Chains A and B, each alone.
Chain A
């Protein structure tokens, strides 16, 4: 089957790739662009570990076909660090002990980032509701919520 040309922005860089029509964004990021931060934990959209931000919206990249993002702007966890400076969420996750095995971390951070981008001072309830889109098996979520609260404080 013929490949398709897709052009989009990843972490502010333009990329043009030949991809399979039935290739997912998760596969493209991990296999063609070596952006391994997004993980496949279930492949079926049930867990959120593959979450990346596309045109400002947090999406499960395992359910997105790469041709769909033609012309779009994609942000992965690798794109959060700017000029060597960590994003407040990255710092807060570290400082609050919100990272254990780390497999859910990149998806969790991006889901939280999308929240903070549209709501600068979310309540604990709002944060809990948003991150209930992502499964974490290790932390019990408490420190994750604390980290997002902390990052919100630091961002204002």
Chain B
């Protein structure tokens, strides 16, 4: 399948990347592993004038410990991150979500930054231009309807990153650098709540670093999918606890992950969260397997993940 025309530029550092962004008036896409971007461009869901390759920026590939944080450069591959000793020891939820992501070969190419910033997905969205032209353009494509839910006024596309869920459960933060400068915020804050433009990133911003507080945790990640490799999550649940507190994050069912904070964890905590999440979840028929089923599984997977976490260290 041939790509549409675009220029290719390689950025040596962040400032140069942003400069390219400005030179092309924002009609660019940043390229890391390309496993999310290139398919989108092939489908003509994204038609940038230029693609800016960030893989030459060395500082984005580093992993280090600093002042009570694990700092992960956005260009670190999922495979490398999975094999990092600190991740294995301190952040089991993240280890599990990395191992569950896609397949081994794609883990070696995909970056953690790219995985977090992947576009939301829908069976009727991720199709070729010809297919979508015949069907009609939906909200996410700039049209005026949802092709899945008649009369809907919002986009129900699904956010399918396995790792953002575990990172949020680990209270991770992210650093961004853009034309307006640098900023740091909690990972939850990158979600806009709008499936059409799922992220709050400002024009030209580059995700540069992920920061996880260096505290040992107990955690688990459970993924619902048909095949045991390659498939995106039809539902993802990350649970992570440190002592008496923790978080449960649920994704794959709508554009914004659900995040639940846990305090004073006791025997009924997870059952309560499972019930709440079940009632909060609003999956629609935009994936394989029925939305009713995926909703039911929210409760099942939370209970499974938490069971595993509570048994850890026993």
CA distance A133 to B108 in the complex (A): 11
User: A4, A45, A60: which has the most chain B beta carbons within 10 Å?
Assistant: A45
Known: A1-B7, A21-B8, A64-B34. A44 touches B53 (CB 8 A): no
Q: Is there contact, CB below 8 Å, between B104 and A133?
A: yes
* List of A residues within 8 angstroms of B230 by Cβ: 46, 132-133
Q: Name the contact of A68 in the complex, choosing from B3, B35, B53 (C-beta under 8 A).
A: B53
CB distance from A82 to the nearest CB of B (A): 24
* List of A residues within 8 angstroms of B103 by Cβ: 132-133
Q: Is there contact, CB below 8 Å, between B6 and A63?
A: no
Q: Is the interface of B mostly helix, strand, loop or mixed?
A: loop
Is A58 an interface position by the 8 A CB rule?
yes
CA distance A24 to B41 in the complex (A): 12
Q: Is there contact, CB below 8 Å, between B38 and A22?
A: no
Which residues in window 78-98 of B have CB below 8 A to A?
A: none
Is B109 an interface position by the 8 A CB rule?
yes
Is B5 an interface position by the 8 A CB rule?
yes
Q: Is there contact, CB below 8 Å, between B105 and A51?
A: yes
CB distance from B132 to the nearest CB of A (A): 15
Is B10 an interface position by the 8 A CB rule?
yes
CA distance A51 to B103 in the complex (A): 13
CA distance A125 to B282 in the complex (A): 37
Known: A43-B42, A65-B34. A129 touches B104 (CB 8 A): yes
Q: Is there contact, CB below 8 Å, between B51 and A132?
A: no
Is A106 an interface position by the 8 A CB rule?
no
Residue of A nearest to B1 (CB): A43
Q: Is there contact, CB below 8 Å, between A44 and B39?
A: yes
CB distance from A110 to the nearest CB of B (A): 10
Is A36 an interface position by the 8 A CB rule?
no
Total interface residues on B, CB under 8 Å, equals: 28
* List of A residues within 8 angstroms of B39 by Cβ: 44-45, 63
Is B203 an interface position by the 8 A CB rule?
no
* List of B residues within 8 angstroms of A46 by Cβ: 230
Residue of A nearest to B55 (CB): A68
Which residues in window 18-55 of A have CB below 8 A to B?
A: 20-24, 27, 40, 43-46, 48, 51
Q: Is there contact, CB below 8 Å, between A133 and B229?
A: yes
* List of B residues within 8 angstroms of A116 by Cβ: none
CB distance from A68 to the nearest CB of B (A): 6
Q: Is there contact, CB below 8 Å, between B42 and A133?
A: no
CB distance from A72 to the nearest CB of B (A): 11
CA distance A22 to B4 in the complex (A): 7
Is B106 an interface position by the 8 A CB rule?
yes
Is A88 an interface position by the 8 A CB rule?
no
* List of B residues within 8 angstroms of A67 by Cβ: 8, 10, 53
Q: Is there contact, CB below 8 Å, between B8 and A59?
A: no
Known: A21-B7, A22-B3, A133-B230. A48 touches B35 (CB 8 A): no
Is B228 an interface position by the 8 A CB rule?
yes
Which residues in window 106-122 of A have CB below 8 A to B?
A: 111, 114
* List of B residues within 8 angstroms of A27 by Cβ: 2
* List of B residues within 8 angstroms of A48 by Cβ: 105
* List of B residues within 8 angstroms of A17 by Cβ: none
Per-position 1/0 for B210-230, Cβ under 8 A of A: 000000000000000000111
Q: Is there contact, CB below 8 Å, between B106 and A60?
A: yes
20 examples of A-B residue contacts, CB within 8 angstroms: A1-B5, A4-B8, A21-B8, A21-B51, A22-B3, A22-B5, A22-B6, A24-B3, A40-B1, A43-B42, A48-B105, A58-B105, A58-B108, A60-B105, A63-B39, A63-B109, A65-B38, A132-B103, A133-B106, A134-B105
* A59-B108, A132-B228 known, 4 other contacts, Cβ within 8 Å: A43-B42, A65-B34, A68-B31, A111-B105
Q: Which residues of B contact A (CB under 8 A)?
A: 1-8, 10, 31, 34-35, 38-39, 42-43, 51, 53, 55, 103-106, 108-109, 228-230
